[in-house]
Amino acid sequence: MTNKPPSAEGIRLNWFDIPLHTRHIIELWLGSEIVNISSQTSGFSPGVAATFTLADARNVFIKAVGPKPNPGIASVHRHELNIVSQLPNDIPVPRLLWSYDDLETGWVTLIFENIDGWHPANPWKQDELRRAIDALVDLNGKLTPSPLLVRDASSAFAETVCGWQKLKNEQSIFNNQLDDWSVRHLNQLAEIEALAPNAVTGNTLLHFDVRADNMLFTSDCVWFFDWPHARIGAEWVDVVCFAPSVAMQGGLLPEKLCVQHPAFQRADPMFITAAVVSLAGFFTYQALQLPPPGLPTLRAFQDAQGQVARQWIVDRTDLD
């Protein structure tokens, strides 16, 4: 894409937005005075996400959300707590140090080890993208077979990542908002998309939301964080889901990116096409919804990925 891509960010809250009772419990666990707070601007979370520097020279990363502005995000943090607390220690994921689910205030707090790194450049740099792909291949390999019991990717594709079928069923609402190509091929897209739940079956624990804002680089490692959407499925699914955001942010086109993943090379091309079609449908459908509270850039971010994913369909099929 030639235009600057939309940013991946929510409306960040600050330390003093957290209720006093919850702050007090957090401070007791920290056991040292907070001397500096550096907010993380990127990432789709309408809450606190910041590095806290303590008087005893420790740094920790704190994520905390409450019932406002988006009441659904607290459950997302609870999902992440369940996943990261069980992940093996030999994968590049920041360790969870402590968590607190305050039933009185509705705030959920996760405290991680702080990684002193940087997000990939936007637009992507060739060397960083190469490192990211290699790290993702290694991550997928280490998480095959899955060490956790979580829901499978097939159910996600059947229930959520199925936008063409939803658009077909809601044509009276969205038809006048769809681009001409999508309207023209809607029935065929919905038929191909219906094959995706079977296509993505596998035994790999997938991050299922890999993007530049969900990884950090250090001199010797690429770290993957934000795991609430983890699913079990085919080893190649993460790189396919990653690809539209990479192209949108000035990196390789999807096919050129994905072919660098050995699992993608081994997979049935028809299975991959079904997943790509389904992913494009998800982004296309979601982009037509109202922005969730506290996440004003999300729909534009999804729309930009949808444009990439629809072109990817054209490149892989005869739906021109």
| Residue 273 neighbours by CB under 8 Å, 6+ apart | 192, 313, 316, 317
pLDDT of residue 12: 84
Which amino acid is present at 256?
K
Q: Which of 48, 56, 57 is nearest to 16 (CA)?
A: 48
pLDDT of residue 177: 86
**10-residue mean pLDDT series, the chain (320 residues):** 67 91 96 94 82 97 92 92 95 97 94 96 96 98 97 98 94 80 96 98 98 96 97 98 97 98 98 98 96 89 97 96
pTM of this structure: 0.94
Strands 59-65 and 48-54: antiparallel
Distance from C-alpha of 44 to C-alpha of 95, rounded to nearest angstrom = 20
Tokens read off for 12: 């960040």
Tokens read off for 143: 């998480």
Helix H or strand E segment including 137 = helix 126-142
pLDDT of residue 175: 67
Domain boundaries in the chain?
15-113, 126-316
pLDDT of residue 2: 44
Q: Which CATH number fits domain 15-113: 3.40.50.300, 3.30.200.20, 3.40.190.170, 3.40.50.620?
A: 3.30.200.20
Cα 174 to Cα 152, 198, 225, 288, distances in angstroms: 29, 27, 34, 8
pLDDT of residue 3: 65
Q: Which CATH number fits domain 126-316: 3.90.1200.10, 3.40.50.300, 1.20.1070.10, 1.10.1740.10?
A: 3.90.1200.10
